[in-house]
Amino acid sequence: MKKLALIVCLLISLSATAQEFKGGIMAGFITSQVDGDSWAGYNKSGFSAGFFVNRQFNTKLAGQMELRYIRKGAIHDDTKTGGSSYYRSRLNYAEVPLMVQYFKGNFIFEGGGTFGVLINSTEEDLYGKISENELIAFNKIEIGSLIGFSYQVFEKLRINFRFQYSILPIRTNYSDNISTVNDYYNQKYSFNNVLGFSVYYFL
């Protein structure tokens, strides 16, 4: 990941002299859930920040690669409404999204994939942090897909909305209560499910 970060930073620095490449910085917030953990809702807030490199192919198409830190996870808390269940997971990734972009006026539509490396993870319940000995570990690698769109506010500034979902499971769950195909994916495996809003600035 350090080598990849150096490559991205180098491409950004070269963008000042290379017409075909443009680079910059991005930051934003996300809301996420983990499908398969028995809790529903985009209740976990997080953020992302990093760098990007953009290559314009023609007036309609471009490609973009990013290197960013992103905090995902899930939260369920009904203790404030008289319930007795609480759960929180925090999943911190170094992530490389790679996408193709299509331009339509000031709108830019995008689709592609992501490669993530789990930096660390924690889980909590009513009694505090859950011991790693009691948990099934999350996979170190995440492969995902993304779709979204941006709006060109100014020449160097874009705002972006993106939906992101794991293609491969981020871990295998405990549940053996599997009776249908839907149960198989909803209970046996977990997947990251993320909505994000970000600002992109071209240097």
End-to-end CA distance of the chain: 23
Q: Indicate whether 8 pLDDT > 60.
A: no
For 164-178, what is the mean pLDDT? 78
| Maximal CA-CA distance, the chain | 61
169 located within any domain: yes
Lowest mean pLDDT among 42-46, 131-135, 182-186: 182-186
Q: What CA–CA distance (Å, rounded) separates 18 from 129?
A: 49
Q: What domain count does the chain have?
A: 1
pLDDT digits (tens, 9 = 90+) for 58-77: 999 999 999 999 999 999 88
**179 pLDDT tier (thresholds 50, 70, 90):** very low
18 located within any domain: no
Please tell me which residue, 166 or 35, carries the higher pLDDT value: 166
CATH number at residue 167: 2.40.160.20
141 located within any domain: yes
Beta-carbon neighbour count of residue 203 at 10 Å?
12
89: CB partners within 8 A, 6+ apart:
34, 37, 44, 73, 74, 75, 121, 122, 123, 124
Q: Indicate whether 156 pLDDT > 50.
A: yes
Structure tokens given for 155: 């020449």
Containing structural domain, residue 197: 2-13+34-202
Q: How many residues does the chain have?
A: 203
96 located within any domain: yes
Report the pLDDT value the prediction gives residue 186, as an integer from 0 to 100.
53
pTM of this structure: 0.83
Lowest mean pLDDT among 2-6, 51-55, 171-175: 2-6
For residue 184, give Cα distances in angstroms to 93, 159, 180. Answer: 26, 37, 6
Structure tokens given for 185: 């994916």
149 located within any domain: yes
